[in-house]
Chains A and B, each alone.
Chain A
Amino acid sequence: MIEFLIAAIIYVLLNFVLLYRVFRGPTAADRMCAADSLDLVSATALVLYSLYSGRSIYMDISMVVALLGFVGTVFVARYLEGRL
């Protein structure tokens, strides 16, 4: 169905707004917050593209993206807190 593709394209366009915040953010915590949201939006866009094209390999990639984004965010947060 074409709606999944349209929604995926909107999600990818929303990613550019977050990318602007990643480059622009005043502090490191702002950048990391935007990067975490970027991971989630990309994972959801991959789910939508997988539903559109009918290939389930994209869903595996989406799972890995969601998990690795979490691990990276927690590591950077620990580092910013000064307890690594």
Chain B
Amino acid sequence: MVRIVIDILLAVGVFFTFIGVLGVHRMPDVFGRLQASTCIATMGTLSVVLAGVIYGVSSGSEPMTYIKLAIILLLVMGTNPVSNHALCKAAYKMGVKPAKDLVIDDYKEDDPE
């Protein structure tokens, strides 16, 4: 029973990581790639950590394992948006052209600096 739950969680994690990697490979411009790569950081890591916690509970591992898993989740979820934001702004300021014209572009009109 526990094994089935762990299998489902791992399958969800592998599927969403596959979505993220495929998005990074297929998207036409930088902004789409950044959007797709968020999938890896959220569902990919979250479901793997949940599977690890359930496995630890069922097999009775030491408490250090849970703390390390929680810290890895905290680090990934806390640092990934910052680097994504920095890369997105850097790509825009560098002058990377989007593959299709943007529907609405308030950032260019207002130009906050």
Contacts and interface: CB of A to CB of B under 8 A. Distances in A.
Q: Do A and B bind each other?
A: yes
Interface of A: 1, 3-4, 7, 10-11, 14, 17-18, 20-21, 27-30, 32-34, 36-37, 40-41, 43-44, 47-48, 51, 56, 59-60, 62-63, 66-67, 69-70, 73-74, 77-78, 80-82
A57 B95 CA distance: 43
Nearest to B56: A51
Contact of B25 (A11, A20, A67, A82): A20
B90 A81 contact: yes
B13 A7 contact: yes
Interface of B: 3, 6-7, 10, 13-14, 17-18, 20-22, 24-25, 30, 33-34, 37, 40-41, 44-45, 48-49, 51-52, 55, 64-65, 68-69, 71-72, 75-76, 79-80, 82-84, 86-87, 89-91, 93-94, 96
Contacts of A44: 13, 17, 40, 44-45, 48
A74 B90 CA distance: 10
Contacts, number: 139
Given A7-B10, A17-B25, A47-B72, A34 B83 contact: no
Nearest to B23: A37
Given A20-B25, A34-B24, A43-B72, A74 B82 contact: yes
B80 A70 contact: yes
Contacts of B82: 70, 74
A29 B87 contact: yes
B94 A80 contact: yes
Q: Most B CB atoms within 10 A — which of A21, A40, A81? A: A40
Contacts of B44: 40-41, 44
B17 A17 contact: no
Closest CB pairs A-B (n = 8) = A77-B86, A70-B79, A29-B91, A73-B83, A81-B90, A80-B90, A77-B90, A37-B37
